[in-house]
A and B are shown apart, each in its own frame.
Chain A
Amino acid sequence: MNSRSSLRTKLIASPYIVWSVLFIVAPLIFVVYYSFTDASGAFTFENIEALGKYTPTFLRSIWFGIEATIICLIIAFPLAYIISQKTEKVQRTLVMLVMLPMWMSFLIRTYSWMALLQDTGIINSFLGKFGIDPIHMINTEGAVILGMVYNFLPYMIMPIYSVMAKLDHSMVEACQDLGGNRLTVIRKCIIPMSMPGIVSGITMVFVPSVSTFYISQKLGGGSFDLIGDVIERQFQQSYNYNLGASLSLVLMVLILICMAVMNRFSGDEEGMVI
Chain B
Amino acid sequence: MKIASKAYAALVFIFLYAPIIVMIVFSFNSSSSTSVLSGFSLQWYKVLLEDEATLRALYNTLILAVSSSVIATVLGTAAAVGIDKFKKGIPRSGIMAVTNIPMMNPEIVTGISMMLLFVFVGRLVNIDAVLGFGTLLIAHVTFNLPYVILTVLPKLRQTDRNLAEAAQDLGCKPASAFFKVVLPSIMPGIITGMIMAFTLSLDDFIISYFTGGPGFQTLPIAIFSMTKKRVKPDMYALSALIFVSILLLLILYNIAQQKSEEKSKKK
Q: Interface residues, chain A, CB within 8 Å of chain B? A: 1, 5-6, 8-17, 19-21, 23-28, 30-31, 33-34, 75, 78-79, 82-83, 92, 94, 96-98, 100-109, 111-113, 115-116, 118, 120-122, 125, 150, 153-154, 203, 207-208, 210-211, 213-214, 218, 228, 231-232, 235-236, 241, 244-245, 248, 251-252, 255-256, 259, 269-272
Contacts and interface: CB of A to CB of B under 8 A. Distances in A.
Nearest to B101: A24
B112 A79 contact: no
Given A83-B9, A107-B227, A13 B101 contact: no
A62 to B, nearest CB: 13
* Interface of A (DSSP majority class): helix
B150 interface: yes
A252 B79 contact: no
A116 B19 CA distance: 7
B40 interface: no
A120 B104 CA distance: 39
Given A101-B17, A207-B106, A241-B119, A235 B210 contact: yes
Interface stretch (B44-52, B62-70, B80-88): B80-88
A122 B75 CA distance: 48
Residue in B105, B206, B231 whose Cβ sees the most chain A Cβ within 10 Å:
B105
Contacts, number: 223
Contacts of A236: 209
B154 interface: yes
B220 A107 contact: yes
Contact of B78 (A13, A21, A103): A13
B108 interface: yes
Interface string B148-177: 011101100000010011000000001000
B9 A104 contact: no
A108 B235 contact: yes
A79 B105 contact: no
Given A101-B16, A113-B19, A207-B106, A270 B35 contact: no
B231 A10 contact: no
Nearest to B26: A115
Given A13-B83, A82-B5, A244 B18 contact: no
Contacts of B246: 100, 103-104
A154 B231 CA distance: 26
B85 A79 contact: no
Given A108-B235, A150-B16, 11 more contacts: A13-B78, A15-B75, A15-B78, A20-B98, A31-B109, A78-B5, A107-B227, A109-B19, A150-B15, A231-B108, A271-B154
